[in-house]
């Protein structure tokens, strides 16, 4: 049993946080496009960012801020324009964004972190941003998490949010998170933004270590299409407002907090994978028997990212040969005679030997995983970049409890790992073929 419980409230569930999301006119659709998260007191800040050599101005900005001082009071996010590959003017736009918000909040600009999402090569619409900042600050609320979650999404069909609570030192401690992501998703971060808030007191170095490890087990273990983005950002704040003793080194309390942080990140990561562009089902790959966990995650991510595996799942075809081929090219040595593959409860390969199985029943298992989330029907009749609020609200809540489970064993060692992805449908091509037109 997990040593925490799920609660409502998202990023405003922890004490001492407010959030807001508004329509500032950045998106041509007229949907919400500007979000803000503010801590009442200066918070310890940590971040994990894209590994791409082509980075958005906000990524370089945040890295510089956090290297100088790992603390922040606010996170500002615009949706609609990525402000990536926009040259020196894009850098000036990012700096001006921070300065505008700092003036409105009456704080130091160096206590503001930035994130952007949207079309690469497009600058932020600064006139809309300038007029939107005062409205955004005025909208800050202790119940504003859902508004913020809705304002950071682009091709997502639904917002992504979670909050968990545990007890440390006889006091409640909470972690909340919101995220966006649907396409251009691949390990080593993805076209995703995730913002996490926590009311525990944690030393800066330890908080960064916790976040990096949590990212490896969550956002770095999902894939939709194999493309890493220019804007990937995972930012976490810890403001100490739970009034628990400061956690400065690993121990029982630190392990509990990190486990809850990892659970928050994994929930958001799975929501991103489940909401992959055009996807009809979530895929979870579980790998065991490697020499260490890193190797197991490497095999799992390779399988989850295989276009052939993803296409077979979309076609409801229990083609285990594609799974075996992906495992074999993952770069992790193992004996073929030790390979075992299961799809759900169907054992397909044992000791490297194919087995007889009920192909029709296995196909039905794949079909069942897609019945609870008819994304294809929605995307086929709507441009996902311009879905109205009514359409979004009518889409069923994501079912994270009904994934396609692929289980692979490659030996008897202690290494284990998981990765998450989604199937590859016709609609993925449709969405991305028409992305800017």
Supply the DSSP string of 348-359, one letter for each residue.
Answer: EEETTEE----H
- With residues binned 3-state (H G I as helix, E B as strand, rest as coil), the percentages for the chain, rounded to 5, are 40, 25, 35
Do the beta carbons of residue 223 and residue 216 sit within 8 Å?
A: no
Active site residue 191: yes
Q: Are 104 and 66 in contact (CB under 8 A)?
A: no
Closest to 279 in 3D by CA, of 180, 196, 156: 156
Instruction: Report the alpha-carbon angle 180-228-67, nearest 5.
Output: 80
Residue position matching structure tokens 């995307």: 379
Query: Could you give the CA distance from residue 100 to residue 84 in angstroms, rounded to a whole number?
Result: 20
Distance CA 87, CA 85 (A): 6
With vertex at residue 285, the alpha carbon angle to CA 118 and CA 52, rounded to the nearest 5 degrees, is 35
Q: Are 418 and 223 in contact (CB under 8 A)?
A: no
Hunting for tokens 């087990």 — which residue is that?
217
Structure tokens at 195: 């913002």
Strand ranges of the sheet holding 353-354, from the earlier edge strand across to the other edge:
353-354, 346-350, 340-343, 404-409, 282-289, 413-422
Q: State the Rg of the chain over Cα.
A: 21
Nearest alpha-carbon partner for 185 in 210, 154, 140, 145: 154
The one catalytic residue among 191, 228, 244, 407: 191
For residues 435 and 231, give the distance between their C-alpha atoms in angstroms, rounded to a whole number: 17
- Candidates 301, 400, 281, 412; CA nearest to 6 is 400
Scanning the structure block, which residue is given the tokens 């121990």? 251
Could you give the residue ranges of the DSSP H alpha helices within 83-194? 87-105, 126-138, 145-151
Residue 386's DSSP bridge partners are none
User: Do residues 215 and 262 make contact, with C-beta atoms less than 8 angstroms apart?
Assistant: no
Catalytic (active-site) positions: 191
């Amino acid at each position: 049993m997990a040593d925490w419980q799920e609660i409502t409230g998202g990023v405003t569930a922890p004490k001492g946080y407010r959030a807001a999301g508004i329509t500032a006119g950045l998106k041509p659709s007229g949907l919400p496009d500007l979000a803000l998260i503010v801590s009442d007191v200066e918070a310890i800040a940590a971040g994990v960012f894209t590994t791409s050599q082509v980075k958005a101005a906000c990524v370089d900005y945040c890295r510089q801020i956090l290297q100088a001082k790992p603390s922040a009071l606010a996170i500002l996010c615009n949706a609609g324009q990525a402000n990536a590959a926009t040259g020196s003017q894009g850098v000036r736009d990012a700096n001006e964004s921070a300065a505008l918000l700092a003036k409105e909040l009456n704080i130091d600009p160096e206590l503001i972190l930035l994130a952007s999402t949207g079309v690469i090569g497009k600058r932020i619409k600064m006139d809309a941003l300038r007029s939107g900042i005062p409205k955004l600050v005025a909208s800050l609320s202790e119940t504003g998490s859902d508004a913020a979650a809705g304002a950071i999404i682009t091709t997502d069909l639904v917002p992504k949010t979670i909050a968990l609570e545990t007890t440390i030192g006889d006091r409640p401690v909470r972690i909340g998170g919101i995220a966006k992501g649907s396409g251009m998703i691949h390990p080593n971060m993805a076209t995703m933004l995730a913002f996490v808030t926590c009311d525990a007191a944690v030393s800066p170095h330890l908080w960064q270590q916790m976040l990096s490890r949590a990212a490896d087990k969550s956002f770095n273990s999902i894939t939709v299409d194999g493309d890493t983005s220019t804007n990937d950002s995972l930012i976490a704040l810890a403001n100490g407002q739970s009034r628990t003793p400061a956690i400065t080194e690993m121990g029982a309390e630190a392990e509990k907090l990190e486990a809850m942080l990892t659970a928050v990140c994994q929930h958001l990561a799975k929501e991103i994978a489940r909401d992959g562009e055009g996807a009809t089902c979530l895929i979870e790959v579980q790998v065991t028997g490697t020499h260490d966990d890193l190797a197991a995650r490497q095999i799992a991510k390779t399988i989850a990212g295989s276009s052939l595996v993803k296409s077979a799942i979309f076609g409801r075809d229990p083609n285990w040969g594609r799974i075996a081929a992906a495992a074999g090219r993952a770069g992790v040595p193992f004996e073929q005679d030790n390979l075992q593959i299961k799809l759900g409860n169907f054992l397909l390969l044992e000791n490297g030997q194919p087995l007889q199985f009920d192909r029709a029943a296995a196909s039905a298992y794949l079909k069942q995983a897609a019945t609870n989330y008819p994304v294809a029907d929605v995307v086929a009749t709507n441009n996902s970049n311009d879905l109205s609020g009514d359409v979004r609200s009518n889409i069923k809540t994501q079912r994270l409890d009904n994934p396609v489970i692929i289980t692979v064993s490659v030996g008897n060692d202690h290494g284990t790992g998981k990765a998450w992805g989604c199937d590859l449908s016709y609609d993925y091509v449709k969405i991305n073929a028409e992305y800017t037109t």
